[in-house]
Amino acid sequence: MKRKNIIVSILLALCVSPSFFVSCSKNLDINQDPNNPKDVPENLMLTALLSNFSYEVVGGYPVRISSLWTKHLAGAIAGNHEGNYLIKASDVNNLWESYSYTDVMNNAYILKNKATANGNPNYSAIAKIVLAWDLSIMTDLFGDIPYSDAFRGGEGLRPKYDSQEDIYKSIQSLLDEAITEASNNNNALKPGADDFLYQGKMENWIALAHSLKARYHLRLSNAPGKTASAQAKLALDELAKGAIVKDNQPAFKYLASTAGENPWYQYAIDGKWAVTTRPSQYYVNKLVANNDPRLAYQATKVVAGANVDPANVGKYNGVTNEAPGDVIANYSAIAPFYSAKDAKLYWMVFPEIDFIKAESEYLIANKTVTPTVKNAYEKAIRSSMDFYGISAADANTYLASHALSTNAAIAYEQIMTEKYISNYLMVESYNDTRRTGYPNLPINNELYPGQTKLDQPPRINQIPVRFPYPSSERLYNSDNVPSAISIDPVKAIVIPVWWNSK
């Protein structure tokens, strides 16, 4: 990605380091510019918005926790932690207060209003897409959330909560408006190098907006008052209008320089947090058993070194949510494709489009396996292999041993399991497992080989189906927090969100 504005680039590079969050919020928070607090130009707003959304939300807390619950990853440490379903109300405060509502959604709201007032519809379009996307992540994790009453300055300190059903209506409306505004070719100010995702190519933003609309239509396949086939038809109709492809899938490029590295590198590799978050034993064993060539791009093989058992060298070895039996170097890490210093952070991958099509065709066919469903399934797997650059020959070999079953129930599980593998380290996998029940994941109570009992059993006997509401909301906005959701996180995280409650 080209960086023409060197000063902004340096600031944003610093901003992807957690140690710089406080200073960056002062330098880049578009609510206050110390040099000109009432007139921050749209280009600076946009770079800050995209950078914050990428690091703090798409590559931040939501995916770190959901990847533990979908068993993409595990936390190899002793005692209670998120991997065995300990999540406290205070744990989600930063995501809610600082990251999503302040750094992303409020700033997106301000940007869209400013761009509209200045007659710059392309900037408004991007702001609305980011706002809609963050809204979806927050409502999918928490359920009912503030939106319509949330961005009124001092008057909005205690905003009412909108129902998740209404939030989804707002999301679709925002995306519809964004598509229209992104298509506007007037002589207004245009994004360029300040657009770190697409460098101002609005046709790519339009394709992304259609892709998100399709995703969200399918999200409601089991929602109360909805029918799966109708939602699937809406998803396919949206994709017919446009969708991301390999060359324009949204990916944020990080830097190999200190403090500008990829979020997964900072979180799981170089030790800014820990080096114990690694591919799970369940996930690694599953892909090894399937001879899945994608594993090489998702996890590393163990390499020789001090205190590394020679028997482990050259093998994939996953961790569990317990203190490991050996030093951590005996276990696979997240592969460089995702965790190198300068690895791209994919916000959405193009194979998801083909998996949306495969599932939608299955649902439209009344959950039967037709030739159209079979072809869509195979195309989705080929796209997933192509995403990593795996050869067509290897994809054919994999498909030969993973043909779609003629049994409808088994076929659905196959479609969703393959999508789960394709959407490695993405929150969407957590949404899909809740929505469909596939893949049928065991709770996080694995034992390492040789262990006879767990050091710390899971706190609940199921995979959590939501995040608890933040303690800050309980403290400052208690009258509006939905009363049906317990203040006790252990009880709250087993209550399904609206679209998952049918």
Q: Taking residues 298-308, report their average pLDDT.
A: 96
Query: What count of other Cβ atoms lies within 10 Å of the Cβ of residue 224?
Result: 11
- Tens-place pLDDT, residues 55-104: 999 999 999 999 999 999 999 999 999 999 999 999 999 999 999 999 99
Pick the CATH number of 6-74+85-252 from 2.40.10.340, 1.25.40.390, 1.10.3720.10, 3.30.450.40: 1.25.40.390
228-241 vs 202-219: helix crossing angle, rounded to 10: 170
pTM for this prediction: 0.92
Q: 79-115: buried (b, 16+ CB within 10 Å) or exposed (e) per residue? A: ebbbbbbbbebebbbbbbebbbbbbbbbbbbbbbebb
- Tens-place pLDDT, residues 455-497: 888 889 999 999 999 999 999 999 999 999 999 999 999 999 9
Q: How far, CA to CA in Å, does 72 sit from each of 279, 354, 389, 394, 427?
A: 6, 21, 21, 23, 11
Q: Is 102 helix (H, G, I), strand (E, B) or coil?
A: helix
- Tens-place pLDDT, residues 325-379: 899 999 999 999 999 999 999 999 999 999 999 999 999 999 999 999 999 999 9
What is the distance between the alpha carbons of residues 53 and 105, in angstroms, rounded to a whole number? 9
CA 461 to chain centre: 25
Tell me which residue of 229, 235, 237 sits closest to 368, measured CA to CA.
229
Q: Taking residues 377-385, report their average pLDDT.
A: 98
Q: Please name the helix (run of DSSP H) or strand (run of DSSP E) that holds residue 239, with its range, or none.
A: helix 228-241
Indicate where the chain has its CATH 1.25.40.390 domain(s). 6-74+85-252
